[in-house]
Structure 1
Amino acid sequence: MTMSSSFSIENEKYDDDGVIKRTGTWVTASAHTIAAVIGSGVLSLSWAVAQLGWIAGTTILMLFALIALFTSLLLTSCYRYPDPIYGIRNPTYKVMVQNILGGFQYKLCALAQYTNLVGVTIGFTLTGSISIEAIQKSNCFHKNGHEANCTSSSYQFMAIFGIFQILLSQIPNFHELTWLSVVAAVMSFGYSLIGIGLSIAKIAAGGKIAHTGLTGLVVGDHITSREKMWNSFQAIGNIAFAFCFSMVIVEIQDTLKSSPPEIKAMKKTTYYSVAITTFFYAMCGLLGYAAFGNETPGNFLTGFGFYEPYWLVDIGNIFIFIHLVGAYQVFAQPIFSAVENWGNKRNPQSKLMKKEYNVKIPLVGTWRMNIFKFIWRTTYVIITTLIAIIFPFFNNVVGLLGALSFFPLTVYFPTEMYLTRAKVPKYSCVWIGIKALSVFCLLVSVVAAVGSVEGIISDLKTYKPLKAT
């Protein structure tokens, strides 16, 4: 074989940055994105609409969808820099910020991104366990009646969720997660459709008409004006959380093959993903509110707005559990990679970091085990599981996560990177418009964070650790 032909073969194996050729398409990227986006946030949307009412609830839902779409498109144009098609790749969100905005902004981004990725994985642990607990309660209510005392504990289910994550966390990297993301995306469609179907059935059945309103919960109707304000702030955070996926969109784009250009494929992915997600969010949020009115539970599949058919509620919660098992990995992989890359740079010759052992697993195949990866990933899952056990506050945690992640990761960094990459002139119409959007979203995030923190403080006053509910 001649040297030129050998070089040609090597070129066919690797992309322009020396990484083994990426093979992802807009379809696989959409699966990753939908798996990441349609998560635990969808379960609290009907509650959020109930706090805000038809007008504000619908408006804020659509507004955040448009903002997420706009800023995600800005991010996709920054994957290659300085030219969006022929520039150097930015394989991760952090690297993108570092290359475009510089070192200080990079440190701020790393802090914001990893804080929120950790928070999301904790939230997924909590929500996944609540779904399995709901199955246990559902069967109890079906057997003993809707007024039966069906108290139970979700802590053992958090441990089960953690065991699944310890096993799945040994998947080497993002590029080998496609099958898991496809399964997770199918599950997310499944439980969303079940929730929508049950809501429609409840509305069509008639009977007691749910009380709804243009402004949501009415002050004086079991709620004070102060509680109404805090709940509204928290609801805004919940809706924001539902659209927070920017922290993984760059990593998803980095799975795409080079032809067609990544920016074209990712833009297509973004349009489809946000459109599909928003449709399901609107159906879950609005139909859920129409079905339950101002008494909508915080989690519309596990809060027992629905009791029957119990088997369908059970299937919906099984879907939620399976989906969150996969979504956890989509958000955890960037954390795993960051620590492992740091370790490799600090100790490039270390056998602990480099050496792999082939472990044969019956019916599965050979697992390439690295001791450092195994210890680190297992430890991470154990820690996030323990935190979820200590702080099991679903709606307030969801609202706070949304508030913390929405502004910096979904708005600030994408807009600043776009302004820099596109060299938008200061004080031009585009520059002023983008800056105004950024300020508006900052105010929204502050309001939502305040509401969620107040809710967590209220929960802590009555919280009894490890007590069944």
Structure 2
Amino acid sequence: MTNPHHSRSAQAGSSPEFINPLGSSPENTTNANEAGAETRSAQEQFDINNWLPITANRNAKWWYSAFHNVTAVVGAGILGLPYALSGLGWGPGIAAIILSWVITFYSFWQLIRLHEIVPGQRFDRYPELGQHCFGPKLGYWIIMPQQVTVQVASSIVYTVTGGKSLKKFFELVIPSIGGFRQTYFILFFTTLQLGISQSPNFNSLKAISLLAAFMSFGYAMIAFVTSTITGVRHHEHVDHSFRSHSTPSRVFDMLSGFGTIAFAFAGHSVALEIQATIPSTPEKPSRIAMWRGVVVAYSIVIFCYLAVAISGFWAFGNTVDDDVLLSLEKPAWVIAVANLMVFFHVIGSYQVFSMPVFDVIESYLVNNLTFKPGRQLRLFARSAYVLAAGFIAVCIPFFGGLLGLFGGLVFSSTSYYMPCVMWIVTQKPKRFSLHWWASWFSIVVGVLLAIFSPIGGAREIIVQAKSYKMFS
């Protein structure tokens, strides 16, 4: 069976010949390609490549990159930043946010440059770049599991966030409905995603992503202004000491806090896929438009992150909830609007992170299991994924713990150090040069996050699970 990511011209946006169908094992791909070469014409292969959601449409503008990246980065993680500060303290917490922003801004630049590092080819998917850097087999298995884990984790967390935010909205506006179990709201969010997930490709989400980007900025500003007003009124009674009193608990809280901050910078796992939607020519490569959009997005990111983190922790101190909007109570209508904004934002974020997963699943089904591309395949495959993510979200709806666990476990790799590793492998910067130092510093920070942060997040989930009743 021929490769769905078959090489094409640079103008059309080609992928390397050796790239495997995402989701299939490298060992099986060669045999599948040889068998498929006899049964599928070049035109049929071209049609499949133009059917898969990542490469189906390459007409995006630079501002698409801006709002796609705002939607991807300014997500549920921002709501947990004040809670992260309550475990880290003022100095370490703010320093960690700023340092993470600097490191991930730099690694974003690296990914954008690496997208077309080989003349005439485009690495449209994170695993494709990994294969170029580390080899067809090793690169595939290094990158693909991590990227998919990031995106599945994001889907789960956004499902939890959507359900919680909608419940909070109704508690404030229509208490009789808000009294229903949180499970029902998570299931409603999941049902909504069943329909939206049938969007054929990345660019078909542009209206949803644009709305989500505006919503993210809107609720961030509401959280900032409302927290500031609350802090002005009550800051003299607020305790800004560490959330926990015992030394072991403080250590676990700090580890979880670092993971929460890492989760807040998750956009790299979809960076190459977003850039793949932008047209590229030798005279005007896609990196120009992509970088312009990322600069705009990251300027919004650092402003929103510091504003929400500082105001939320200042207003509520060590009693702040793991979702700062849950700590806000007055004025009720403003908090209700903010929670509704969160609900609409995570609808878009869910789709931005899920689209590469859909690409993985559909590529595997078409190339390895010989399913016929079409609406029926998408309906079956995407619905199964959405339902699975919704079920997990119902079972473990622990927002803060999930941020810490997933943030350190895989987000630190895809956002902090893996782009730097690939940069060193391909570009071989001069020893002790600026890029050499910057890359190795980012790698060390990212690896430490990956080792220690999941411990804090897992411990928080265990503690919360002791008092949790399934499907409550």
Distance 1:208 1:331 in 2: 38
Q: In the alignment, does 2:197 pair up with 1:169?
A: yes
Q: In the alignment, does 2:159 pair up with 1:135?
A: no
Q: In the alignment, does 2:278 pair up with 1:256?
A: yes
Q: In the alignment, does 2:84 pair up with 1:48?
A: yes
The Cα offsets for residues 205-262 of structure 1, whole Å up to 9 and x where unpaired, read as x24624354xx4176xxx3222222111111111110011110011011111226321
Distance 1:35 1:163 in 2: 21
Query: Which of these residues, 387, 393, 411, is aligned with residue 388 of structure 1?
Result: 393
Match of 1:340 in 2: 362
Match of 2:34 in 1: none
Alignment of 1:301-320 (within 5 A): 301=325, 303=326, 305-320=327-342
Distance 1:114 1:423 in 2: 28
Deviation at 1:440, TM superposition (A): 2.6
Deviation at 1:21, TM superposition (A): 6.6
Preserved contact between residue 210 and residue 293 of structure 1 (Cα < 8 Å): no
The Cα offsets for residues 361-387 of structure 1, whole Å up to 9 and x where unpaired, read as xxxxxxxxx211111111111111011
Query: Which of these residues, 94, 104, 122, is aligned with residue 127 of structure 2?
Result: 94
Preserved contact between residue 255 and residue 457 of structure 2 (Cα < 8 Å): yes
Aligned residue identity for 1:59 = A
Query: Which of these residues, 213, 220, 238, is aligned with residue 260 of structure 2?
Result: 238
Alignment of 1:181-192 (within 5 A): 181-192=209-220
Aligned residue identity for 2:321 = P
The Cα offsets for residues 114-166 of structure 1, whole Å up to 9 and x where unpaired, read as 1121111011000100001112332478x9xxxxxx86521111111011110
Preserved contact between residue 49 and residue 58 of structure 1 (Cα < 8 Å): yes
Distance 1:428 1:66 in 2: 18
Match of 1:374 in 2: 379
- Unaligned runs of 5+ residues in structure 1 are 1-10, 144-149, 357-369
Q: How many residues align?
A: 422
The Cα offsets for residues 70-121 of structure 1, whole Å up to 9 and x where unpaired, read as 1110100110132xxx441011111111122212122121111111211110
Query: Which of these residues, 186, 201, 206, is aligned with residue 229 of structure 2?
Result: 201
Deviation at 1:431, TM superposition (A): 3.3
Preserved contact between residue 416 and residue 445 of structure 2 (Cα < 8 Å): no
Normalised by the length of structure 1, the TM-score is: 0.85
Q: In the alignment, does 2:465 pair up with 1:431?
A: no
Deviation at 1:289, TM superposition (A): 1.1
Identify which range, 391-400 or 421-430, moves more after superposition: 421-430
SS at 1:81's partner residue?
Answer: coil
Match of 1:121 in 2: 155
| Change in 2 beyond 3 A, CA 1:185/1:218 | closer
Preserved contact between residue 77 and residue 418 of structure 1 (Cα < 8 Å): no
Match of 1:292 in 2: 316
Distance 1:429 1:322 in 2: 41
C-alpha root-mean-square deviation of aligned residues, in Å?
A: 2.3
Normalised by the length of structure 2, the TM-score is: 0.84
Match of 1:365 in 2: none
Distance 2:414 2:60 in 1: 24
| Change in 2 beyond 3 A, CA 1:312/1:16 | closer
| Change in 2 beyond 3 A, CA 1:316/1:425 | same
| Change in 2 beyond 3 A, CA 1:184/1:218 | closer
SS at 2:293's partner residue?
Answer: helix
Distance 1:16 1:120 in 2: 28
The Cα offsets for residues 41-98 of structure 1, whole Å up to 9 and x where unpaired, read as 011111111221211111011010001101110100110132xxx4410111111111
Q: In the alignment, does 2:414 pair up with 1:409?
A: yes
Q: Percent identity?
A: 27
Match of 1:280 in 2: 304
Match of 1:211 in 2: 238
Preserved contact between residue 243 and residue 319 of structure 2 (Cα < 8 Å): no
Distance 2:296 2:468 in 1: 42
